[in-house]
Amino acid sequence: AVQSSGHALTAILLDGVGCSGDSDKFFVGAGAGSVNLILTSAGLTNLFSHLPGSYKCVNASMIVDANPDVLVIVEASWDSAINKIAYMHNNSAFCNAPFVQKADYIKIPFSASALGPRNGAAALDLVSAAIHVTTGATTMNFQSGVEFFDPDVLVSRTAGLLCPLALTDMSYSGVSSSPPPPAPAPPASESTLEDWAIAVIIVFAVLFGVVVVVLSWVIVRERTGAPLFTSKLVDVTSATSKDNI
């Protein structure tokens, strides 16, 4: 289902923290049983499907090296999913893992992860939740109990831990890490452009009128035998002659 939607994703199911008496190991879904059936039915690739049995104990480095697109975490009354998340976010081995930094987590009820009639609906809801946490897209819910976490709850629960979360880290938080684009420039006012054009036309019209008046006056003087520039030349010549006498 996920693959047919164009979102081919990998996954690991985390059932519990600590196993076989080792608190540093993690109990994860392996290649047999209901867990692998649910993941593969949803179109997710179970990164630990090569391990024998239904569940397996692995260390943190195996999970980090596998680098799943989503981590499906079992919710149980005796071992809540949010506590498992807090444990990982207070473990330096997980701090640089992309799925931890982006909180690509999905919660599945313990009853839905065990073999039973809820497996089909759980697989469908895994599709929706996986697409949502990795892209932010909103999809349908078949009410199986599979869901994503509230981003604000994750931020609050991991605050003060070694690997704290911020809303900008999560694609499904609705808070963008990029600055908002600048507001578009307001369109130029047509009336302003029109007034400017009218002002220029008026200035040129006035200048043209002045030039026409001056030229007309010069022409009239020429026709009446009293050219403007010649008369000044004659006056200068006469004055020079008188000085010589």
CA dihedral of residues 126, 2, 98, 86 (deg, nearest 10): 0
Domain boundaries, the chain: 10-169, 195-240
10-169 belongs to which homologous superfamily? Nitrogenase molybdenum iron protein domain (3.40.50.1980)
Along the 245 residues of the chain, how does pLDDT read in single tens digits? Answer: 444 445 579 999 999 998 878 888 999 999 998 999 999 999 999 999 999 999 999 999 999 999 999 999 999 999 999 999 999 999 999 999 999 999 999 999 998 888 887 788 888 888 888 888 888 887 667 678 888 899 999 999 999 999 999 999 998 888 765 555 666 766 655 555 567 677 777 777 777 776 776 677 667 777 776 666 654 444 545 555 555 55
**Extended beta strands in 34-150, E state:** 45-46, 55-59, 70-75, 105-109, 147-148
pLDDT of residue 216: 73
What local confidence, expressed as pLDDT, does residue 58 receive? 96
Q: Closest Cα to residue 103, out of 30, 173, 176, 18?
A: 173
pTM of the model: 0.69
What is the pLDDT, as a whole number, of residue 2? 47
